[in-house]
A and B are shown apart, each in its own frame.
Chain A
Amino acid sequence: MITEFLTIPGVLLLLGCFLLPLLPQKVRSTAFLIFPVAALALIMMRPDGFTITGVIGSYDLVLFQMDALSRVFGMIFAITGLTAGIYAWHIKDLSQQIAALGYMGGAMGVAFAGDLFTLIVYWEIMAITSVVLIWARGTDESIKAGMRYLIYHVLGGGLFFAGILWHFSQTGSLAVESLDYEFTIANMLMLLGVSVNAAVIPFHTWLSDSYPKATITGAIFMAAFTTKTAVYVMIRMFPGWEILIWFGIVMTLYGIFYAVVCKDIREILSYHIISQVGYMVVAIGVGTDMALNGSAAHAYNNLLYKGLMFMAGGAVMYAAGTSRLAKLGGLGKKMKWVFALYVVGGFSISGLPLFAGFISKGMIIDGAGYAGYEGMMLLLLLAGVGTFLSVGLKLPYFTWVYDAGNKIDLKPIPINMYIAMGLSAFLCIFYGVYPNALYTFLPHEMDYNPYTIYHFVEIMQISLGTFVVFWYFREKLKGKMVLVLDLDWIYRKAAPATRLVFVKGVNDFFGVAEKWILNSANYLNRKFDNPMPWLNPFTDKKNKADRYSSSMEVIMSFIVLSFLVLSIFYLM
């Protein structure tokens, strides 16, 4: 029984958090890699429909449940965990290693949770462990950003949990299953909670605020797990919720807008995560088999190439000590491998043929088109233009090609970083060239071939058009030392006002109320200490309430009599 529990990937990885500190420092980074590999093996071993159940109190919990959708997400979480683990192999910081392993365990647990209680436990583990990866950077701004991140996720997790409890009390079901498209309070709370983790606008600021401030290696893990587990839960619980199409479209374009105007490698990539998750959210809203497959496939590919891009950006930051475009430039000769590997990621995300993005992005866009959302399809294509412009052209151009005349001393990059990037780049090209390697694992049956002439013409023309405009306007997108405001302004810069309303206002209200209640209690206490003098104006003022007096006897008798009469009436 116990050994069976240990074969749950989430449990296995969380157990690793306790084993890792017991190992000597030298082997710890290598031992870390065993866990995602073991988890991947366990995932591939289990057949569809396999479950592990347990009982806690009077609740029957499904601790592990395997089906095609869970498998595809579990696989990519394990692969990303492995590549990110290789990338972070040179890090000796135990707290980061434990946090990353626990974070991975949380994500894996969510992907295989068979009931909502199990799911929310892993969900919260993810929030708590991931914040360590921000704090580990150690700078003042990352500690503050980590706190904001934690508060946001505690709020989101709380909303989700409240929704689950409400849902359970109404339906009695804890199953992770698709919900009817009804705006009940329980559904709204759960959707809101999941939306926070999926970085749906306007709940996205935790992402763009904290990811650029995390450690170089921590950011790779963060870019992978939180938003994609939210996408997984959305595919499970909210497929075909039409409102998600609109949310998703706003996310894709909003992310693109900020990716175009931001001037820091990791900020650009962070905002671009929001845009990419937007594609997946649109597909979940469309809800057809093809669109849902597209959403899962895009999440899968996105982990590969977004991870690769974060790794390349991190390598630049590691070598040059900064990720601001204004302080970089002309690194193409000195870092040609990192440049080449980044370009693989950039081409993948832009959906160029032979790269991973090509095989999944088209599924989402065509899925929207086939379902009759042609306007949406054009907006998604427009977002694709922005993708190629911002992360396919602008970011690499101003990092590696354009020479701003900055004198940059480069630190050599550890070899393990190259291995991790090389592995990711290989997988990007592998799935791009051989899409069926991914398609066979997708949850729904479908007949889709990305390599059609129409598709080729479509993406090549869009990319060529975008490239020409970029080349003509490239000076306009040059790196500057500038900060671009976002909605986190509300709780950062407007903190005094926010505090006035939500902290001081509430505090003052309670203060006044408390004072009033105490004063009135005092007053009543004084008055009723000796009520005779004011109850009966004819008594002696010195009359004591606790001593016998004839007037007291009259009052008491009257009260007793009233009780008697009332009870007789009641009995009749």
Chain B
Amino acid sequence: MNNKIWIALGLLFLITLGFEFTVLADYDSHWWNAIPAFYAILGLVGCVLIVYVAKFISKKFLNRDIDYYDN
């Protein structure tokens, strides 16, 4: 993927961060609103968690050959 897209995505992130510290500075309907960039962290950590847990469980217990039910 080329650098322009990464720069665009990075800028988008900075904009959301900017909103958090200006418009949303006093916003606290949930306890996690006090943590800066909480939703980005949720996205990162949640995604890593989902990938690893899902891969682990499927590899260990659930994956079978494609014709498993035919035999």
Contacts and interface: CB of A to CB of B under 8 A. Distances in A.
Nearest to B29: A369
Contacts of A461: 13, 16, 37-40, 42-43
Contact of B39 (A257, A374, A389, A458): A458
A45 interface: no
Contact of B47 (A385, A457, A481): A385
A460 B58 CA distance: 29
Given A462-B42, A465-B39, A466-B46, A483 B13 contact: no
A471 B50 contact: no
Contacts of A493: 68-69
A470 B54 CA distance: 14
Contact of A456 (B19, B46, B68): B19
Contacts of A386: 46-47, 50
A464 B13 contact: yes
Nearest to B61: A485
B7 interface: no
A453 B39 contact: no
Nearest to A465: B43
Contacts of A473: 48, 51
Given A385-B47, A482-B64, A483-B69, A465 B40 contact: yes
A476 B12 contact: no
Contacts of A256: 50
A389 B13 CA distance: 18
Nearest to B32: A378
Contacts of B62: 261, 484-486
Interface in A349-400: 369, 374, 377-378, 381-382, 385-386, 389
Contacts of A257: 50, 53-54, 57
Contacts of B1: 471
Interface string A151-179: 00000000000000000000000000000
B42 A483 contact: no
A384 B60 CA distance: 25
**B interface, by DSSP: helix, strand, loop or mixed?**
helix
Interface in B12-63: 12-13, 16, 19-20, 23-24, 27, 29-32, 37-51, 53-55, 57-58, 61-63
A389 B51 contact: yes
Contact of B19 (A381, A385, A457, A485): A457
Contacts of A463: 43
B8 to A, nearest CB: 11
A570 interface: no
B20 A483 contact: no
Contact of A457 (B16, B51, B54): B16
B66 A385 contact: no
| Most interface-central of A374, A457, A477, A493 (chain B CB within 10 A) | A457
Nearest to A259: B54
B46 A453 contact: no
A464 B69 contact: no
Contacts of B16: 456-457, 460-461, 464
Nearest to B50: A386
Contacts of A460: 12-13, 16
Contacts of A470: 47
Interface in A476-509: 476-477, 481-486, 492-493
Nearest to A393: B47
A464 B66 contact: no
A469 B44 contact: yes
Interface string A74-95: 0000000000000000000000
B50 A389 contact: yes
A467 interface: yes
A492 B55 CA distance: 24
B47 A484 contact: no
Nearest to B58: A261
Interface string B1-15: 100000001001100
A467 B65 CA distance: 30
Contacts of A374: 30-31
B24 A454 contact: yes
A361 B69 CA distance: 37
A387 to B, nearest CB: 10
B13 A469 contact: no
19 contacts: A141-B70, A257-B50, A257-B57, A261-B62, A385-B46, A453-B23, A456-B16, A457-B16, A457-B20, A457-B39, A462-B39, A464-B43, A465-B45, A469-B47, A473-B51, A481-B66, A483-B69, A484-B63, A493-B69
Given A369-B30, A454-B27, A466-B43, 10 more contacts: A260-B51, A261-B58, A382-B42, A382-B46, A382-B49, A385-B47, A385-B50, A459-B39, A465-B47, A493-B68
Interface of A: 141, 256-257, 260-261, 369, 374, 377-378, 381-382, 385-386, 389, 453-454, 456-471, 473, 476-477, 481-486, 492-493
Interface of B: 1, 9, 12-13, 16, 19-20, 23-24, 27, 29-32, 37-51, 53-55, 57-58, 61-70
